[in-house]
Amino acid sequence: MIKGYARVSSLSQNLERQIVALREAGCEIIYQDKASGKDLNRPEYQKMKEELQPGDCIVFASLDRLSRNYKDTSNEWKSITQDKCCDIKVLDMPILDTKSNEAGLTGKVITNIVIELLAYCANIERDKIKERQTAGIKLAKTRGVKFGRTVSLSKEQFLYHYDSLQKGNISVTKLCEQLGISRKTFYNLRDKYIKN
């Protein structure tokens, strides 16, 4: 049976382009996930793997729909083709079609080498993106850009309310309710603003 797998990284992205391509490739069943490719804990992907039968062919529109991680891509490729005895076809890379390799073992070896190389390149690109992101954040911080949550109360506001607490006019629980903050936030602010 020919089965397809489509994935986008976020809920706002559209799977339609991949689904059309997979249908045109003859997929009888198409599994769809809207989840990051960083790990394999995706519900439809796991369901697809459980339902695989020897001789099935899994079609991906692109190799990065399988995973964005070198190790995972390589391991999953081997798991599907060797352990599950299934074929894989990647639409945008015809060389990555284990079913059409008429050269037999040589074709499978070449496909495995190509998959290792492509997965490695995808991993390198992901690492470069992380490096650029880290450098961008560092540069933004030097320019004074603030990251994280905004402070819920200024020091003056906190000290005003803390004074009522110290005088016994209000409990921590009631104060937190009035201020709309959690007890953890209260204690974090106390530790931040009040020197012991």
Catalytic residue positions, numbered: 9
Contact 33, 13 (CB under 8 A): no
Q: Which amino acid is at 54?
A: P
Q: Which helix (H) or strand (E) holds 174?
A: helix 172-179
Phi-psi region of 66 (alpha: psi -120 to 50; beta: other; left: phi over 0): alpha
Q: Return d(Cα 140, Cα 21) in angstroms, integer.
A: 41
Q: Return d(Cα 181, Cα 158) in angstroms, integer.
A: 11
Q: What 8-state DSSP symbol labels residue 195?
A: -
* Strands annotated E in 2-129: 2-8, 29-34, 57-60, 87-90
Q: Return d(Cα 9, Cα 14) in angstroms, integer.
A: 10
Beta-carbon count within 10 A of 187 CB: 12
Contact 120, 69 (CB under 8 A): no
Q: Alpha-carbon torsion 32, 36, 38, 43, what sign?
A: negative
